[in-house]
Amino acid sequence: MSSAVLTLPRQSVHRSEGPSDRECRIVALASHRRGDWQAFIDRCADATVFHTLAWHDAVAEGFPHEDVYLMAYRGEHVVGVLPMFLVNSFLAGRTLVSLPYAVGGGILGNDEDAVAQLFAEAKRIAECRQCVTIDLRSAKAVLPDVPIVDRYVGFERELPGRSDDVLGWLPRKARAAARNARSKFGLTASFGDEHLREVWRLYSISMRRLGSLAYSFSFFERLAGHFAEQHWTCLVRYQGRPVAGLFTLLFRDRVMPYFVGTSRVAKRCSAANFIYLVTMERAVSEGFGVFDFGRSRRDNTGSYDFKRFHGFEPRPLEYQQYSLGLPARELTPSNPAFAAARRVFRYLPLPVTRVLGARLANHIPG
């Protein structure tokens, strides 16, 4: 376990009086329970890559947040989990987030009682720690009385059966762009963690161009380390020069491109189209069935339209936010309060934006 593990006071963990096999008891994740946690994730159909302990370990080591990972036991069996991190933000106050820097998260439970018990304990901890909100990033809402944040949509699509069919599976315009990237511009792609720093460099350049924060290279390293057999690092070159990079997470039959970066030359030679094409082709050749294009904000037309351009239709993500009575501040890039700062950010030197991005990411949980 990371040194960032939250030590809960004795009274903070609910235990039923005289527990039986029918009653839930809520406990905090500890080293000796990691096997139970992972076993539950392995058999839970709704689990995501972000519910894994690999994600926990990468975030716990990469950011100064306390982890609040709760487990519901019935007898000796785990019947639910709720992974969270306590984020102390000078911008938004103290929040419990499930999960920061992630597309997914939220409560997993075998039944309504397990879900209710886990959330009741989360509320008690949030009140004890004077949190502003509890943010739950479930694809489908599981708490009937907690408001849904209608801000994000997800994009996923089943892949074709053969890698040779991927190009034809794309819509006409996306297919033409990807084909030109390969045949007209001669783009090449290679996979391997020897490209990790270059992919991060391109990613940090892209994020500055967008006026957004880039996570530190150390976080990329931790993700690659903890997801040792569950990630790909891809680099695309044009005339021998790196023009696009992509870091992809793998979970079950799902491929999820997660961090992407491009140079200014990339648009001219359709490098972004090409890097997703070769990643899809590899996914099919290795037996993956679903390409998960992640999420986009509804108002982020660039990302939203690019994914639809590739034949992916949006589906609402039913994130939920529980307020503890204090005003919550929106930390999305679309918040008008950040508009001036984002404009300035685009013109700062790259070393400055990298340092600022890494530090501000501690306060903006993505």
**Looking at residue 262, which CATH number applies to its domain?**
3.40.630.30
Does one domain contain both 93 and 49? yes
Residue 79's identity, in one-letter code, is V
Beta carbons of 215 and 222 less than 8 angstroms apart:
no
Residue 306 domain flag: no
Residue 339 domain flag: no
Round to whole Å and give the CA distance between 278 and 281: 5
Residue 193, helix vs strand vs coil: helix
- Strand (E) or helix (H) holding 360: helix 350-360
Model confidence at 22, pLDDT cuts 50, 70, 90, reads confident
Beta carbons of 288 and 250 less than 8 angstroms apart:
yes
Beta carbons of 320 and 136 less than 8 angstroms apart:
yes
Residue 334 domain flag: no
Tell whether the model's pLDDT for residue 98 goes beyond 70: yes
1-10: burial string, b at 16+ Cβ within 10 Å, e else: beebbbebee
Residue 335 domain flag: no
Does one domain contain both 145 and 168? no
Does one domain contain both 133 and 226? no
147 phi/psi in degrees, rounded to 5: -60, 145
Number of domains in the chain: 2
Beta carbons of 247 and 220 less than 8 angstroms apart:
yes
Among the listed residues 163, 176, 136, the one whose alpha carbon sits nearest the alpha carbon of residue 152 = 136
The pLDDT tens digits for 26-63 are 999 999 999 999 999 999 999 999 999 999 999 999 99
Tell whether the model's pLDDT for residue 71 goes beyond 90: yes
As beta bridge partners, residue 231 has 249
Model confidence at 295, pLDDT cuts 50, 70, 90, reads very high
Residue 89 domain flag: yes
Residue 345, helix vs strand vs coil: helix
Does one domain contain both 175 and 87? no
Q: Indicate the burial class of 140 (C-beta count within 10 angstroms; 0-12, 13-18, 19 or more).
A: exposed
pLDDT at 300: 82
Does one domain contain both 324 and 277? no
CA dihedral 280, 62, 30, 99 (to 10 degrees): -60
Q: Which domain holds residue 246?
A: 160-288+347-360
Does one domain contain both 32 and 175? no
Does one domain contain both 267 and 352? yes
Round to whole Å and give the CA distance between 127 and 133: 9
Does one domain contain both 79 and 98? yes
Does one domain contain both 111 and 176? no
Residue 297 domain flag: no
- Strand (E) or helix (H) holding 93: strand 93-98
Does one domain contain both 165 and 206? yes
Tell whether the model's pLDDT for residue 324 goes beyond 70: yes
Q: Indicate the burial class of 141 (C-beta count within 10 angstroms; 0-12, 13-18, 19 or more).
A: middle
Does one domain contain both 28 and 116? yes
Express as a percent the part of the chain with pLDDT over 90.
Answer: 81
Residue 293 domain flag: no
Q: At what angle do helices 172-183 and 271-285 cross, to 10 degrees?
A: 100
As beta bridge partners, residue 66 has 86
As beta bridge partners, residue 73 has 25, 78
Model confidence at 301, pLDDT cuts 50, 70, 90, reads confident
240 phi/psi in degrees, rounded to 5: 85, -5
Residue 336 domain flag: no
Does one domain contain both 166 and 196? yes
